[in-house]
Amino acid sequence: MTKIRVLVVDDSITVRKRLIEILNRDEKLEVVGEAVDGRQAIELCERLRPDVVTLDLVMPVLNGLAVTEHLMAYCPTPILIVSAATNRGEHFDTYEALAAGALDVLDKPPGAENRAWEQQFIATVKRASRIKVIPHPRAKLSRRRPVNAPVLPVEPAGPSTGPHELVVIGASTGGPSAIREILAGLPPNFPLPILIVLHIGESFAGTFAEWLDGVSPIPVRPARDGEPLPKPGSASVLVAAADRHLELRNGCLHLVHGPERHACRPSIDALFETVARDAGPRAIALLLTGMGKDGASGLKDIRDAGGLTVAQDEASCVVFGMPREAIRLGAASHVLPLGEIAPFLRSLARRT
């Protein structure tokens, strides 16, 4: 049996040894190296070519963000951030690392033995090893696909689409980079409100809207329970809160601590299904890169209700799981490369 080869990077010997111990307990995993700073991490990754790197963010010599940017540009490797971000700046570095190509983020293990955390860590490492990563998504985006990559339209379904009044976006693995690129391609006065659900660890989700606000031309903030959906004409991006489903009912947004959907809270399906019922033909829905199938059936609901639905294409996805499931269900009225989504939204907004 070929084992999954892991490089562990952390400047704390206590944390490093604990991660190695956890990994070595699993017969399908093998720790092939350990690094104590960013420069050593790069050297070992280039020499050992591991299947996965577990990477701390706060380290001497080079921090985890610099390591991620270098590896994804010159030695693309699945990277799992394992870091105890303790302040706003470290949270922002986490999002930058995810935007630079890191696949996922976990908080560092708690002080006492925690079986649930260990199982999640092992499962995330294994999942990361199955993802074929591509070069640095910010610096080398143009290498993902031909400039004139085809757009794949599908015949409309359901009632005719009417004037659009909102955009809803769901994303998971690879989502921070994809969402950032889409928002960067929209004008500051984009006329439709945008609702976003992103799968990310609860301890890191709290500052995601703040980070996104700093890189988006459109104001971004967390959604508030009970607030009315912003009217078309007021540029705004609202992000689902940590550990709460975001739903649209009777023109108002609600944050709901309901059961997890597809092991997720917030769930993309929870938003999309309520948008289908409340806004139907007035909605534009985007399902972006991510593992699993959350959002696929909700995207189908929006399409069946007359909304316009888009799935990100395989070539530009970090993980083609959720969009693939949506396409399989016939939920996508359009399949678009990531780089074509913002221009597509701009063209639709001009017709609104």
Structure tokens at 333: 């009225």
Q: How do strand 104-106 and strand 152-153 relate by DSSP bridges?
A: unpaired
Residue 87, CA distances (Å) to 64, 117, 216 in order:
15, 22, 21
The residue among 246, 161, 245, 242 whose CA lies nearest residue 195 is 246
3-state helix, strand, coil in the chain (%, to 5): 40, 20, 40
Structure tokens at 37: 């700073």
The residue among 247, 295, 119, 264 whose CA lies nearest residue 199 is 264
H or E segment to which residue 6 belongs: strand 4-9
Give Cβ neighbours of residue 284 (< 8 Å, ≥ 6 apart). Answer: 164, 166, 167, 168, 192, 307, 308, 309, 310, 345, 348
Positive/negative CA dihedral, 316, 199, 224, 88: negative
Whole-angstrom distance, CA of residue 330 vs CA of residue 321: 15
**Active-site annotation holder among 10, 37, 294, 313:** 294
Residue 172 falls in the annotated catalytic set: yes
Residue 213 falls in the annotated catalytic set: no
**Active-site annotation holder among 129, 172, 177, 333:** 172
**Active-site annotation holder among 70, 136, 164, 199:** 199
Residue 90, CA distances (Å) to 72, 86, 217, 321 in order:
20, 7, 22, 29
Give me the active site residues, please. Answer: 172, 199, 294
